[in-house]
Chain A
Amino acid sequence: MEDGGMGQRELQREVIDTHLCTGCGACVGLCPYQTSYHDRIILLHPCDIKVGRCYMFCPRTPTNLETMRKSLCEEKDLTPEIGAVKGFYLTRATDEQIRKDAQHGGSVTTLMTLALREGIIDTAIIAEGKENFLHRGVAVNDPAEVKKRGKSKFIVSPTVAEFNRAAKGEAKKIGVVATPCQVLALAKMRLKPVPVDEGNIDKLKLVIGLFCGWALSWRGFMELLRKKTGLDAVVGMDIPPRRHTLEVYTKDGTIEFSMEEVNSCIREACHYCFDTTAEFADISVGSARLPGRWEETRIWNQVIVRTQRGDDLVQLARAGGLLEFREAPGEALDELKKSAMEKKRTALKSIAARSGSSPDLLYLDRFDPVVRMLQG
């Protein structure tokens, strides 16, 4: 940082040029200088403001995670591996149609729909799949609109940009479904690092985080897909555990891509990601992955409840019979923690390789307790 600048120039140097950018959209929609295109963040024109929200909100600029944990979570719930855990469940939507339209158990759709219906939020920001895998965040008010957009996306959607846009408007209570990087951005915004916030972040009433191991880069993945199928033939995708393939479901059946093929298309930024479970969400949801029982468990979700308002919503869903619950075997949580820790370890290595020196962890603080535990 020259002259202590924390603006667009530094954002470019520290995040864009270093390929750390996750495409979350936190820097978009605040001003005319950044926009998103496909899955990339674009700096349109130079901005010379010294301290800009773009830099301050970015999940890949330096962040004091420990402060954030203490501010946003209850200390007794904290785990080093996956952040705050108030409760851990296996759930799925009771509504069969929701399950059918969803990636796995339909728990996220159920919870967002419920939050809208109960007036906990008036606006839900969710990712919408568009043609050619060009996703974007959309703000919806009608619970039925949430149900249409239940599938995993695999390519980043600049969802936080849509939050920025919606927060400027009529919306008063906003809920967001977000990937870990997006959740981190929203968490940074909640800490109000800059005075010019206009109070919009206070409209954020619910964050449902999605487990995420990586996202694909649009251009690379499109080229890979085009080799094997027409883009409009694709109806869905998934990654079965431990099989080392990406399954692409088309109208004519399933096409498998080996992880070697897929790895070459992974967004570079994802290699530097320290968080697979969206640690600063109210609720984090992923697919249930019980060893050896994939086909049976893929229609279930693992749910980590992290905050009081998260717990309130999950309990409301339980009371209303909207979510089915199933006992989570102890090994499921252990497995989750193990793989989250593994990802953190790999990320630290990748970051050190990118920075060229192991004490320089780019956006991470080497004195952070979790980092020290991993490096210790």
Chain B
Amino acid sequence: MMSKLIAQKEGVEYLLMGNEAISRGALEAGVSVACGYPGTPSSEIIESLCRVAKEGNLYVEWSANEKVSMEVAAAASFAGMRSLCTMKQNGVHVASDFLLHLAASGIRGGMILVFCEDPGALSSVNEVESRYFAPMIEIPLLEPANFQEAKDMTRWAFELSEEIKNIVMVRSVTRLSHGSGNVIFGKLPNTKRQAEFRCDGPILDPDTGLVFSAPVVYKHQLQQEKIKRAEEIFERSPFNTYEGPEKPGVLLITSSICYLYCREAISLLGVEDRVGVLKFGATWPLPPSFLKRHLSLTDKILMVEEVRPFLEERVKILAAGMAPEMGIKTFYGKETGHFPSVGELNPDLVVSALGKIMGINSYVGMPADYEKKAQALASTKTPQRDLTFCPGCPHRASFWLIHNALQMDGRRGFVCGDIGCYSMAILSPAGGFGVMKTLHSMGSGTGIAGGFGKFGQFGMEQPVLTVCGDSTFYHAVIPALINAVHHRANMILIVLDNGGTAMTGFQSHPGLTVNAMGEEAPAVDIARICEAIGVKVEIRDPFDLEETRETINRLLEDEEGVRVLILRQICGLSPEKKAAKRYEVRIDEALCLGENCGCNRLCTRIFRCPGINWDRQKKKARIDEVICAGCGVCSSICPAGAIKREEAA
């Protein structure tokens, strides 16, 4: 079935996920090349473009990391085509060195960076605000506020990019990327541009010269002129809007998904005739005249945005300059404590802040302690459910083995964590058994372990381990591994190779034989990379519990340099497995020792695979056949031999 994303149905309304709306916007803009690195909440943009790559004559790739994805997309722009790169909020930081230089060199074909942020860190280990890159690197920033805008602004961002010959940032957030709404389609272009890199003209010619950031001062000047030009364009942008009375008592200034919260709050309070909403879609550089016109409407302004006071700061700076003419305004926002500068906002928070300013108590939203009370209530009525590894997850077996090996080794060894499903191991006892002690950015587990591994001279005797996933290995582990090898760090890298970028939904990576577009691709072998670096590599199956545990202990005893162990077992949810069970697993209740000395519920109290339940009435373990993935590992850990497994038919 043809994807609706390439339907030639101009003017027809479709229900799209925010990320799909962004993809459609790029398609309507005639994008040729799209690259990204998977990361929630951004992944569906590239995924949906992969599905239409063939029909849409696109080149789409899941790159090894965000920086590389931006470089590939930039090459497309240099060749005159329109290109898109996508990533989650911290991906921008990975790509930022290149982004800095790209912004200085300028681009040719329209190029946009879509970054999807995660306020509240629903699927992240940070809630960083990458909007600040726009002023820092001096490039324009757009923030769609609804699903239609997600498409329309993406499409328009390409035009803006070509107009000012620079990259444009488009920001989404989880609630927009992963929400769905109606989107009216525009026209899809019929033709694709020819790729050609023109580089024989005068050196400084933006269309035919060299593409680089020098002469720096000259290019910097040029870049600032581009920003000035963007500012002028933003003065007339249809994405910056005002709705409300001519003389509002309070003006809300907002952007992104908070615009919807503002509208809802005004409606809940019934103050449509007294409150106006100034919504910015083009948020950096802020257009001063447009801003001034609306600031002049009132004296009280409430800044509504998530996490950091990005707009608030810029608006206040501009307002300070306008004060001699416009008069002094009162601003409410994060600095006055009307909103938190961490976590997500919601309509109730806007109601509460607005109500406070206006002295309205008529609407009582969710009380502040609602969440706490709800959690307290839930904990008494529902079974405890931690974040945990899925049934059949190889990581549970891997961490079980690492934990046991470290306990046996007895020198207080620890694991430096990295980014992937296995990050959950830091949340003991939900499957990591308490071994993971640090967790930062992708690849940094190996970098940190390489540091710890050098501290023997200062008396450090603890064995140092780190883990990374297969995708993470390609992303950022390799340089850290090379560094550790070269400096003879004493450390063990355990690659938890589950055959895909599992956490974000099985996107392809360089270790696989198929690329993002479903084409055959040469797999880059992790073991051979390690061997080429000069590291001894062993490969084990984490489901072979005893042999693998012995291997880890042997590696721990071997205190020379970097050791790499690849624990290879496909993810329990991998589409390749097609949900097939390897074993049928059942409990022999006559053998199950339950709470008695000799077992004390090892499977449900310590191992805690969600596929095994504790039957409180019978006081026996029970396999949940629906949940059980049939890996059979529990059968190997049961001390009584009560968990029986048979090869599934």
The verdict on A43 contacting B602 (CB below 8 Å), with A31-B597, A49-B597, A194-B597 known, is: no
The verdict on A49 contacting B600 (CB below 8 Å), with A32-B639, A35-B408, A42-B407 known, is: yes
Q: Does A44 contact B (CB under 8 A)?
A: yes
Binary CB contact string for chain B from 574 to 607 against chain A (1 if under 8 A, 0 otherwise): 0000000000000000000001111110100010
Q: Which of B424-451 contact A (CB under 8 A)?
A: 433
Q: CB distance B600 to A33 under 8 Å?
A: yes
Closest to A196 in B: B597
Q: CB distance B410 to A31 under 8 Å?
A: no
Q: Which of these, A33, A37, A194, contacts B553 with CB under 8 Å?
A: A37
Q: Which of A23-46 contact B (CB under 8 A)?
A: 30-33, 35, 37, 40, 42-46
Q: Does B404 contact A (CB under 8 A)?
A: yes
Q: A288 → chain B, closest Cβ, in Å?
A: 38
The verdict on A40 contacting B597 (CB below 8 Å), with A32-B602, A32-B639 known, is: no
Q: Does B409 contact A (CB under 8 A)?
A: yes
Q: Does A53 contact B (CB under 8 A)?
A: yes
Interface centre among B404, B433, B598 (most CB of A within 10 A): B598
Which residues of B have CB within 8 Å of A196?
596-598
Q: Does A137 contact B (CB under 8 A)?
A: no
Q: Which of B394-424 contact A (CB under 8 A)?
A: 403-404, 407-410
Distance A83 CA – B461 CA, assembled complex (angstroms): 43
Q: Which of B125-150 contact A (CB under 8 A)?
A: none
Give the number of A-B contacts (CB < 8 Å): 45
Distance A96 CA – B598 CA, assembled complex (angstroms): 45
The number of chain B residues touching the other chain, given as a range, is 10 to 19
Which residues of B have CB within 8 Å of A194?
597
Q: CB distance B408 to A42 under 8 Å?
A: yes
Q: A44 → chain B, closest Cβ, in Å?
A: 5
The verdict on A44 contacting B404 (CB below 8 Å), with A32-B639, A37-B409, A37-B410 known, is: yes
Q: A50 → chain B, closest Cβ, in Å?
A: 9
Distance A194 CA – B599 CA, assembled complex (angstroms): 15
Closest to B602 in A: A32
Q: CB distance B600 to A31 under 8 Å?
A: yes
Which residues of A have CB within 8 Å of B407?
42-44
Q: Does B291 contact A (CB under 8 A)?
A: no
Interface centre among A32, A33, A43, A53 (most CB of B within 10 A): A32
Q: Which of these, A30, A32, A37, contacts B408 with CB under 8 Å?
A: A37
Q: Does A191 contact B (CB under 8 A)?
A: no
The verdict on A45 contacting B606 (CB below 8 Å), with A31-B597, A31-B639 known, is: yes
Distance A44 CA – B595 CA, assembled complex (angstroms): 17
Closest to A197 in B: B597
Q: A80 → chain B, closest Cβ, in Å?
A: 35
Q: CB distance A47 to B553 under 8 Å?
A: no
Q: CB distance A47 to B600 under 8 Å?
A: yes
Q: Does A52 contact B (CB under 8 A)?
A: yes
Q: Does B100 contact A (CB under 8 A)?
A: no
Q: Which of these, B403, B595, B637, contacts A32 with CB under 8 Å?
A: B637
Q: B413 → chain A, closest Cβ, in Å?
A: 13
Distance A42 CA – B403 CA, assembled complex (angstroms): 12
Q: Does A77 contact B (CB under 8 A)?
A: no
Q: Does A223 contact B (CB under 8 A)?
A: no
Distance A30 CA – B606 CA, assembled complex (angstroms): 17
Q: Does A261 contact B (CB under 8 A)?
A: no
Q: CB distance B598 to A42 under 8 Å?
A: no
Which residues of A have CB within 8 Å of B598?
30-31, 53, 196
Which residues of B have CB within 8 Å of A51?
597
Q: Does A202 contact B (CB under 8 A)?
A: no
Binary CB contact string for chain B from 601 to 624 against chain A (1 if under 8 A, 0 otherwise): 010001000000000000000000
Distance A49 CA – B598 CA, assembled complex (angstroms): 10
Distance A196 CA – B606 CA, assembled complex (angstroms): 22
Q: Which of these, A30, A37, A45, A53, contacts B602 with CB under 8 Å?
A: A45
Q: Which of A102-137 contact B (CB under 8 A)?
A: none
Binary CB contact string for chain A from 154 to 173 against chain B (1 if under 8 A, 0 otherwise): 00000000000000000000
Q: B396 → chain A, closest Cβ, in Å?
A: 14
Q: Does A48 contact B (CB under 8 A)?
A: yes
Q: CB distance B597 to A53 under 8 Å?
A: yes
Q: CB distance A42 to B410 under 8 Å?
A: yes
Which residues of B have CB within 8 Å of A44?
403-404, 407-408
Distance A44 CA – B606 CA, assembled complex (angstroms): 10
Q: B609 → chain A, closest Cβ, in Å?
A: 14
Which residues of A have CB within 8 Å of B410?
37, 40, 42
Q: B179 → chain A, closest Cβ, in Å?
A: 42
Distance A46 CA – B433 CA, assembled complex (angstroms): 11
Binary CB contact string for chain A from 68 to 87 against chain B (1 if under 8 A, 0 otherwise): 00000000000000000000
Distance A194 CA – B597 CA, assembled complex (angstroms): 10
Distance A123 CA – B603 CA, assembled complex (angstroms): 32
Distance A45 CA – B407 CA, assembled complex (angstroms): 9
Which residues of A have CB within 8 Å of B602?
32-33, 45
The verdict on A32 contacting B597 (CB below 8 Å), with A37-B553, A42-B407 known, is: no
Closest to A32 in B: B639
Q: B463 → chain A, closest Cβ, in Å?
A: 13
Distance A35 CA – B597 CA, assembled complex (angstroms): 15
Interface centre among B596, B597, B600, B606 (most CB of A within 10 A): B597
Distance A223 CA – B247 CA, assembled complex (angstroms): 85
Distance A372 CA – B408 CA, assembled complex (angstroms): 39
Q: Which of these, A31, A37, A42, contacts B599 with CB under 8 Å?
A: A31
Q: A10 → chain B, closest Cβ, in Å?
A: 14
Distance A30 CA – B599 CA, assembled complex (angstroms): 9
Q: B410 → chain A, closest Cβ, in Å?
A: 6
Distance A52 CA – B595 CA, assembled complex (angstroms): 11
Distance A30 CA – B595 CA, assembled complex (angstroms): 14
Binary CB contact string for chain A from 50 to 70 against chain B (1 if under 8 A, 0 otherwise): 011100000000000000000
Distance A175 CA – B573 CA, assembled complex (angstroms): 50
Which residues of A have CB within 8 Å of B404?
35, 44
Which residues of B have CB within 8 Å of A47?
600
Q: B498 → chain A, closest Cβ, in Å?
A: 24
Which residues of B have CB within 8 Å of A46?
606
Closest to A50 in B: B597
Which residues of B have CB within 8 Å of A32?
599, 602, 637, 639
Interface centre among A31, A40, A48 (most CB of B within 10 A): A31
Distance A32 CA – B404 CA, assembled complex (angstroms): 11
Distance A49 CA – B606 CA, assembled complex (angstroms): 13
Q: B297 → chain A, closest Cβ, in Å?
A: 64
Q: Which of these, B403, B433, B553, B597, contacts A30 with CB under 8 Å?
A: B597
Q: A257 → chain B, closest Cβ, in Å?
A: 23
Distance A35 CA – B550 CA, assembled complex (angstroms): 13
Which residues of A have CB within 8 Å of B637?
32
Distance A33 CA – B433 CA, assembled complex (angstroms): 13
Q: B430 → chain A, closest Cβ, in Å?
A: 14
Distance A47 CA – B404 CA, assembled complex (angstroms): 15
Which residues of B have CB within 8 Å of A30?
597-598
Distance A53 CA – B596 CA, assembled complex (angstroms): 11
Interface centre among A31, A35, A45, A51 (most CB of B within 10 A): A45
Which residues of A have CB within 8 Å of B596?
196
Which residues of A have CB within 8 Å of B403?
44
Closest to A198 in B: B598
Which residues of B have CB within 8 Å of A45?
433, 602, 606
Which residues of A have CB within 8 Å of B595?
49
Query: Which 10 residue pairs of A and B lie closest in terms of their CB atoms, listed nearest first?
Result: A37-B408, A32-B639, A31-B598, A45-B606, A42-B408, A47-B600, A32-B602, A52-B597, A49-B600, A42-B407
Q: List 12 A-B contacts (CB under 8 A).
A: A30-B597, A32-B637, A32-B639, A43-B407, A44-B408, A46-B606, A49-B595, A49-B597, A53-B597, A194-B597, A196-B596, A196-B598
A32-B637, A33-B600 provided; 18 other pairs, C-beta below 8 A?
Answer: A30-B598, A31-B600, A31-B639, A32-B599, A32-B602, A37-B409, A37-B410, A42-B410, A44-B403, A44-B407, A44-B408, A45-B433, A46-B606, A48-B600, A49-B600, A51-B597, A52-B597, A196-B596
Q: Which residues does B use to contact A, with CB under 8 Å?
A: 403-404, 407-410, 433, 553, 595-600, 602, 606, 637, 639
